[in-house]
Amino acid sequence: MKLDNIVTSRLTKRFGDIVAVDHIDLDVPEGSIFGLLGPNGAGKSTTVRLLCTLLRPTEGEAVVAGHNVVEAPVEVRRVVGVLPEEGNHTLYQRMTAYENLEYFAKLYGIPEEEIPRRIEELLRFMDLWERRDDPAGELSSGNRQRLALCRALLHRPKVLLLDEPTASLDPVAAKRVRELILSLSKKYGMTFFINSHNLAEVQRICDRIAIIDQGEILLAGETDDLRSRLKVEQVFRVRVTNDVAKAASVARSAEFVREVSTEADTIVVKIADPSSNNSRLMRMLLDAGVNIVEFSEEEVTLEDLYLSVIREVKK
């Protein structure tokens, strides 16, 4: 049976009048990749800081890998690895990649004879071995972030807390970090807790998601469930080879189509409940003699998601 690796119950953190984290209940099963999704100021970083014992809860409890964050902070720190917000600022910019890891390995009390082997394994895993003698400050931001990840992994944590691991990266470097997270999860099976404000990212890598806003969890569940439950109105682009105006008027006549606009040879449509309505629209267009060459989905924005979450919560 899989145990829950992170459990919070009514976990709360106040800063004066601000309730940054407001009575949240979370369960993160062992070995899962969990995403805490929310806009700026929602309480994501505060939650991570509570889980890694950097902050003390005002109220409520959190247990990480069986250890209570208030009663057993030393044990918690031993089993968690943290990539803080702006994680690469925690590296020494003038020390080389290798020296940074050596320094932190000693700080963590990793046995001296074990250190070189562990550093080499991590640097190779992250594709940084060739960069080992470069000063951290001279690495690209993607490589620096991967080095910060190595740092978080040095003591072989059971739980990794990653605070916006791709926020400052370009799309290619961000993709590489996501791939590494997935292969780390596959190879070592640790539990991941990932903060993000990027819905597409969370949907791609997390098997469970909780949505937080103003310190409160609005909704939580398995990624696939949430996707189908929320019935987000999604935007699709339909590229046609013949009559764009006709395609647009057919789309406008469908009761499940919310908005239609045209761009050159493409109609852009917002569709309610796309899992059942996409094929209906496609059939209507084909029946009207429209020639479809491409039917693609635009990524749902966080704003779209919030609107549908709020609708769902109010039901």
Ligand X SMILES: Nc1ncnc2c1ncn2[C@@H]1O[C@H](COP(=O)(O)OP(=O)(O)OP(=O)(O)O)[C@@H](O)[C@H]1O
Binding site for ligand X (CB under 6 A): 15, 18, 20, 38, 40-46, 85, 197
Q: Residue 86 or residue 130: which is nearer to Mg ion going by CB?
A: 86
Burial bucket for residue 4 (CB in 10 Å: 0-12, 13-18, 19+): middle
Indicate the residue among 45 and 277 with the shorter CB distance to ligand X.
Answer: 45
What minimum distance in Å lies between the beta carbon of 164 and Mg ion? 6
Q: Taking CB within 5 to 8 Å according to partner kind, which of ligand X, Mg ion, none is near residue 46?
A: ligand X
| Element containing residue 301 per DSSP (H, E) | none
We find the least distance from the C-beta atom of residue 55 to ligand X, in angstroms, to be 8
* Residue 74, both tokens: 């030393």
Q: Which is nearer to Mg ion, 44 or 144 (CB)?
A: 44
Among ligand X, Mg ion, none, partner that 43 touches (CB below 5 to 8 angstroms by kind): ligand X
CB nearer to ligand X: give 87 or 274.
Answer: 87
CA atoms within 13 A on the CB side of 259: 8
At 179, the amino acid letter reads: E
Query: What interhelical angle do 115-125 and 97-107 show, nearest 10?
Result: 130
Give the chain's radius of gyration (CA, Å).
23
CB 191 within 8 A of CB 30: yes
Q: From the CB of 72, what's the least distance to ligand X, in Å?
A: 23
Least distance (Å) from Mg ion to the CB of residue 38? 9
Task: Output the smallest distance, CB 49 to ligand X, in A.
Answer: 8
Using CA atoms, how far apart are residues 51 and 143, in angstroms rounded to an integer?
A: 26
Within 13 Å and on the Cβ side, how many CA atoms surround 141?
12
Binding site for Mg ion (CB under 5 A): 44-45, 85
Which one, 40 or 314, has the nearer CB to ligand X? 40
